[in-house]
């Protein structure tokens, strides 16, 4: 079976962005709703934050290629994204900062893990 179309979609920015938007909005609603957040507000915050941070992730990954190995780039960039998106949840949902960091960490971890899983399943480079 030829998975080249799927690998191309996932490895492109648009495919990764779409995956991130869907997963992070879903996770924000599922996790944050239990913390008395309004589902629509949480989804919109997650979507807006992802739309802002996603292009920077791609840029920083490419820019850091000659300086840091993949693992270090991944950790540093994801920590930066978690911080920025935590501020968005803190301001937008009025969550305490610790709760905002946890929510951002959970939403971004889900997005990252599902993306990595798709790469493994479809054998993408």
* CA gap 66, 88 in Å, rounded: 31
Q: Tens digit of pLDDT per residue, the chain (125 long)?
A: 444 555 554 456 788 899 999 999 999 999 887 777 788 999 999 999 999 999 999 899 889 999 999 999 999 999 999 999 999 999 999 999 999 999 999 999 999 999 889 878 877 65
* CA gap 41, 101 in Å, rounded: 17
Q: Where are the domains of the chain?
A: 21-122
H/E stretch holding 70:
helix 70-93
Cβ-contact 75, 97 below 8 angstroms: no
Q: pTM for the complete prediction?
A: 0.84
Distance of CA 34 to the CA centre of its chain: 20
């Amino acid at each position: 079976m030829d998975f080249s179309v799927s690998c191309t979609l996932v490895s492109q920015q648009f495919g990764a962005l779409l995956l991130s938007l869907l997963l992070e909005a879903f996770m924000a609603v599922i996790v944050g709703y239990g913390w008395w957040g309004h589902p629509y507000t949480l989804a919109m915050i997650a979507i807006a934050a992802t739309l802002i941070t996603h292009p920077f992730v791609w840029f920083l990954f490419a820019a850091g290629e000659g300086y840091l190995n993949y693992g270090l780039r991944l950790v540093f960039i994801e920590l930066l994204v978690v911080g920025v998106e935590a501020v968005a949840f803190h301001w937008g949902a009025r969550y305490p900062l610790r709760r905002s960091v946890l929510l951002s960490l959970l939403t971004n971890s889900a997005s990252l893990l599902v993306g990595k899983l798709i790469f493994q399943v479809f054998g993408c480079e």
